[in-house]
Structure 1
Amino acid sequence: MKQIKYVLPILLLGNLLCMMDVSIMTIVLPEIQTAFKVSLTNLSWTLNIYTIVFATFIIPFGRLAEKIGRNKFVFMGLIIFGIGSLLTGASTNLVLMLIARTIQSIGAANIIPTSMVIGLEISNQQNRHKIVAALAGVQGLAVALGPSIGGFVSQYWGWRWVFFINVPLVVLDLLLYPLALSMRNESKDTLSIDWFGAGLSIIMLFSLSLGLIKGNSWGWHSTGILGLFITAGCSLILFILLEQRLKSPMINMSLFESRNFDGAGISLVLCNFFLGGMAIIIPTFLTRVHGESELHAALLITPYSIAVMISVIITSLFVKKINNKVLISLGFILIGSSYYLLATMNIDHHYTDLIIAAIMLGIGYGLVAATANILAVADFHGSKLTDSQSVANVLRQVGMVLAIAVFMTILSNNIDSAKQKTLTYSEGQVTALSLPAKSKAAVQHRLQKKLNPKNTNVAESNHSVKFNSIHVSRETIQRLSQKVYHHKLQIVSQKIKVPVSKVPLSVKHQLKTAVSQAVQQQVHKKAINLNGQIQLVINQIKHHLKQQLNHAFLKVYGSMIWLPFLSLLVIPMFKFSREVLK
């Protein structure tokens, strides 16, 4: 059997590519929306379908890999993922992209859980914690790096290369794969597959993921969402009852008798939830509220990606030397502190607070994720090891999906409130304008359309609040000039004591020219004055909206500060025995 040092880089590359595509699209959605000319709501399915299908097939694929052969299964997954990446980049409409993203996610579900088991099985017990930390760490790093790399690639090569770039890397991995991992005569599990349990797990995870992701847009109390949650709950109950009675279940339920596994599972859900809170909101916050380019926004969140990587590496090296209670506790405390900084930061002039908070979050995530991943597998070998990895990967995805549901719901409500407050503010500002009632109504109507709280665009940009300058038509000026001319002509006729018809043509011509010039100057002057007033009000409204949106985004973290500290209650669940890590 090949040494782990030859196998690990191949597994790491596959994991990196698969997990990066969970988040890499977030930064290029506006470009794809422009190219496909579809609504952002419909386009969001390109993100949702990847997450849902990936989470849905992890458990059955973990068992299927044992039946086919793990090495073959991951190799097949790389091929499927590469094809999906190529098709995604080449997509010309939304339907084709959704199909391609589904293919991508099926390949990722082949690769992720099984590659972890391969790494663990060919390593010795002493190095197990390093293998877990490396693979889990690169997964967290990939999710964090996704928006950064996506922004950089799209800036210079276009959004299609965000997906095309996977293809040569997958080909490289496929070429090296047979040199390190044999696909001949590998051991296989002869037990039958629990297809009914597989079906229940697919229904459960699909319903749960779809319900959480679409709850905010469909309505949490809607029939569709309630139906999905009921379906997920019933499927879970049936799955548990079935698995307890089978000789070869899809998931060995005795996993949950391990305190380490239970505590690690909850910790993985929580830390990925908190990581998702950064990855989901901050890129949109920087680009839509503060007007940063995708590339600059990507660079600003890069320190948090680097912090994840460094934290995971250091944690894996010291996990046997430092009490694990300290590592996990410190991780959650750092995450809570980073959320406090995010909630209270002022980035009107600089991004120092954001960078510090991002680094703290990355370090905190690494401390929790690396330690929890090691403890999750510490008690298991063989098929139980496969099951533990399948469940652990599902729980990571559940954490990310929960982040989408919770953070986007809170953010959406906050933005609705921000828009309503700005509308109220704008009414007072427009009322104070020296404009005719009709013009005031037109300005207010335009603002209501721009700031409608029911607008489906979650991150309405403050830069979208614009108003065309007032322009008086030539016909209107001519009517005004004619009216003033006739009035002046009457005055002239009375002054020289002749009827209007007897006023000399030369006088009429001079009068008409003078009146026309005077009216044009007055109208122009008044238009400049009114446009200046309107522009001043619009600028004030834009500034007010920016402040309100800024508060709306940061308030999300303020409402979540308590949860990382509450997460410390998971610590007593662990059985922190040194023996399980040796």
Structure 2
Amino acid sequence: MLNKIKYILPVLLIGNLLCMMDVSIMTIVLPEIQTAFNESLTNLSWALNVYTIVFASFIIPFGRLAEKIGRNKFVFAGLIIFAAGSLLSGMAPTLSFMLVARGIQSLGAAIIIPTSMVIGLEISNQQNRNKIVAALAGVQGLAVALGPSIGGLVAQYWGWRWVFFINVPLIILDLIIFPAVLPLKNESTQSAPVDWGGAFLSITMLFSLSLGLIKGNAWGWHSPIILSLFAASFVSFIGFILLERHLKLPMINLRLFHSRNFDGASISLVLCNFFLGGMAVLIPTFLTRVHGQSELGAALLITPYSVAVMFSVIFTSLLVKKINNKLLIGLGFTLIGTSYYLLATMNLDHGYQPLILAAIVLGIGYGLVAATANILAVADFHGSILTASQSVANVLRQVGMVLSIAIFMTVLSSNINSAKKNTLAYGSQQITSLHLANSAKEKMSRKLHKRLNPNSNNITKVKGSLKFKGIKISKEKQLTLINRAYHRQLALVAAKENLPTKLVPQRLKLEISRGVSSQVKQLLVKKVSQTNHQLKKWIQHVKNHLKKRLNVAFLSVYGSLAWLPFVSLLIIPIFKFKSPDTVD
């Protein structure tokens, strides 16, 4: 049995790693794709949203469909679909093409993720089940954490398209090995009919909920379309529960929720992935847009967080049977809360050590909660209900990520708008104090309003917020000024000599022309230098102010939610344990 697992587990881990990594890998390369497609970040965010929404919507029905077709064949087909979607995403000439390709990718991921977990559990015994769960679920959390880091490294050296292309050779390798360790012929299947009504209701429920949460801020939380989506999700949920209660072979066996361990683990999975998403969603953008880091620089700074997740999951899986699981989950949420406090109060003016410390603390806390919760989610089940438990657990992980995107981006969007308005007011006030012509001040004011438009959803990049090229005076303008000064000086000389200007000697006219030309040019150089110096100082002050306000805008999001991990400790009494190493 152990030798069999040794060969099968790496095949399953590769598929899980790549599928979950593509949930977050695009966050770091969105600016590059935006430039390539010439699309707004608002439109481009659909490349992230489509993957998450389709993935969450199809996990439950695909989990049951795998039992009818055969789990090995289903995962094999899912790998092919995911590879095709990855190839098409990398080749995408337009955003519309990419959205379709990302949808194909997510269908493959929805096939692979839940079914791989069930395959791993079915080939394991009770003694090593915890390690199998920890390995598969842990690699999923690690993949979300690694996504921005890997994306930054790949994009830096090969371009953003290779963020998708890199999946293809790894999937091909997996497909070559797959039939040798997981036979595609003569595998056991279930001939029970598929609950298509439950499948339709679950897809409608999760699609409507995900779309409503993700687009609520952009479309307006009180808009008819968002309210309709939430209403559709609620009605579908009620319909799903009523239907499942009266079916002999439901899509989801509701006996799952009779287990207190499963209930507690479900809530824990939503929460820990919500907190993990808060790091994955905001920090890459924070580093690149506010602190001017390259994608590679941001990736390297995030790496300690990814490594902390990996080691925390490994060690937690080894400790689950030795330490009371309540202590592990309690310590995990406490560390997550501590990390959010550290993120909210960190000062990066003297280096990134505070960020690295907070990231490591968050990674350790996530690993403690996620590994323990994933093990407890399957502890009480076998057979078909085990499949259902994994489908629900995977949906809840995605719900946590979707909630994270929705809530963090909503709070951030409000903070960003406040930061822009504050900087706009500051910059306008500074303009009035400049010693410039009114026309120049109006031009600067228009440029400032254009770059810091509070009605725009785009996050202004501090480094390129206001570009300064310096003012120049055209040759035509110089000649005009010199000509005016020459005629004034000529008139003065003519009056002094009591001569008409026409009778002033040509030699004297040339001397006046040379003198005036030299004097005017010197004055213009001095004036331009003084004006450019003023503008440089003004722009630098505005940039510094914007950086401070955006810094507060990002970090205060963590401050406003730092209480939630500590409140999450209230779910611990839900779990039921007989002893530190026995789970009911």
TM-score by length of 1: 0.98
Moved more, 475-484 or 365-374: 475-484
Opposite residue 145 of structure 1, the aligned amino acid is L
How far did 1:451 drift? 0.9
> How far apart in 2 are the matches of 1:80 and 1:363?
34
> How far apart in 2 are the matches of 1:458 and 1:65?
42
| CA deviation vs aligned residue, 1:212-261 (integer Å, no higher than 9, x gap) | 11111111111111111111111101111111111111101111111111
How far did 1:459 drift? 4.5
| CA deviation vs aligned residue, 1:304-329 (integer Å, no higher than 9, x gap) | 10111100110000101100110000
Match of 2:323 in 1: 322
How far did 1:485 drift? 1.6
How far did 1:462 drift? 4.4
How far did 1:567 drift? 0.4
> How far apart in 2 are the matches of 1:165 and 1:173?
13
Opposite residue 44 of structure 2, the aligned amino acid is L
> How far apart in 2 are the matches of 1:545 and 1:36?
27
Match of 1:396 in 2: 397
Question: Which aligned pairs between 1:435-450 and structure 2 lie closer than 5 A?
Answer: 435-450=436-451
Match of 1:223 in 2: 224
* Structural RMSD (CA): 1.3
Opposite residue 153 of structure 1, the aligned amino acid is V
| CA deviation vs aligned residue, 1:260-283 (integer Å, no higher than 9, x gap) | 111100000000000000000000
> Quick one: percent identity of the two aligned structures?
68
> How far apart in 2 are the matches of 1:66 and 1:405?
33
| CA deviation vs aligned residue, 1:162-210 (integer Å, no higher than 9, x gap) | 1111111111111111111122221111211110110010111111111
> How far apart in 2 are the matches of 1:49 and 1:459?
25
Opposite residue 278 of structure 2, the aligned amino acid is G
> How far apart in 1 are the matches of 2:397 and 2:32?
29
Match of 1:204 in 2: 205
Match of 1:106 in 2: 107
Question: Which aligned pairs between 1:24-423 and structure 2 lie closer than 5 A?
Answer: 24-423=25-424
SS at match of 2:222: coil
Opposite residue 48 of structure 2, the aligned amino acid is L
Question: Which aligned pairs between 1:420-435 and structure 2 lie closer than 5 A?
Answer: 420-435=421-436
Residues paired across the two proteins, number: 582
| CA deviation vs aligned residue, 1:432-455 (integer Å, no higher than 9, x gap) | 111122211211111111111112
Does structure 2 conserve the Cα–Cα contact (< 8 Å) formed by 1:263 and 1:570?
yes
How far did 1:458 drift? 2.7
SS at match of 2:127: helix
| CA deviation vs aligned residue, 1:290-311 (integer Å, no higher than 9, x gap) | 1111011101110110111100
Opposite residue 349 of structure 2, the aligned amino acid is D
> How far apart in 2 are the matches of 1:274 and 1:514?
72
Moved more, 487-496 or 270-279: 487-496
SS at match of 1:464: coil
| CA deviation vs aligned residue, 1:33-52 (integer Å, no higher than 9, x gap) | 22222222111111111111
Opposite residue 133 of structure 2, the aligned amino acid is V
Does structure 2 conserve the Cα–Cα contact (< 8 Å) formed by 1:462 and 1:546?
no
Does structure 1 conserve the Cα–Cα contact (< 8 Å) formed by 2:37 and 2:95?
yes
Match of 2:455 in 1: 454
SS at match of 1:577: strand
How far did 1:466 drift? 2.2
Opposite residue 267 of structure 1, the aligned amino acid is S
Return closer, same or farther for 1:462/1:156 CA change in 2, 3 Å cut-off.
Answer: closer
Moved more, 91-100 or 259-268: 91-100
Opposite residue 182 of structure 2, the aligned amino acid is L
How far did 1:60 drift? 0.2
SS at match of 1:72: helix
Moved more, 393-402 or 75-84: 75-84
How far did 1:581 drift? 4.0
> How far apart in 1 are the matches of 2:502 and 2:153?
76
How far did 1:376 drift? 0.7
How far did 1:461 drift? 2.9
> How far apart in 2 are the matches of 1:157 and 1:430?
43
Opposite residue 180 of structure 2, the aligned amino acid is L
> How far apart in 1 are the matches of 2:438 and 2:20?
56
How far did 1:380 drift? 0.8
What are the ranges of 5 or more consecutive residues in structure 1 without an aligned counterpart?
none
How far did 1:580 drift? 5.0
Opposite residue 5 of structure 2, the aligned amino acid is I
Match of 1:541 in 2: 542
> How far apart in 1 are the matches of 2:545 and 2:98?
38
Match of 1:577 in 2: 578
Does structure 2 conserve the Cα–Cα contact (< 8 Å) formed by 1:284 and 1:459?
no
> How far apart in 1 are the matches of 2:358 and 2:31?
26
Question: Which aligned pairs between 1:459-470 and structure 2 lie closer than 5 A?
Answer: 459-470=460-471
How far did 1:428 drift? 1.8
Does structure 1 conserve the Cα–Cα contact (< 8 Å) formed by 2:576 and 2:583?
no
TM-score by length of 2: 0.98
| CA deviation vs aligned residue, 1:399-424 (integer Å, no higher than 9, x gap) | 00000000011111111111111111
> How far apart in 1 are the matches of 2:31 and 2:521?
44
| CA deviation vs aligned residue, 1:332-376 (integer Å, no higher than 9, x gap) | 000000001100111112111100100000000000000001111
| CA deviation vs aligned residue, 1:532-575 (integer Å, no higher than 9, x gap) | 01111111111111111111111111111100000001101111
Return closer, same or farther for 1:323/1:459 CA change in 2, 3 Å cut-off.
Answer: farther
> How far apart in 1 are the matches of 2:300 and 2:9?
28
Opposite residue 438 of structure 2, the aligned amino acid is A
Return closer, same or farther for 1:409/1:447 CA change in 2, 3 Å cut-off.
Answer: same
Question: Which aligned pairs between 1:482-493 and structure 2 lie closer than 5 A?
Answer: 482-493=483-494
Does structure 2 conserve the Cα–Cα contact (< 8 Å) formed by 1:407 and 1:556?
yes
> How far apart in 1 are the matches of 2:298 and 2:427?
30
Does structure 2 conserve the Cα–Cα contact (< 8 Å) formed by 1:343 and 1:557?
yes
Moved more, 83-92 or 570-579: 570-579
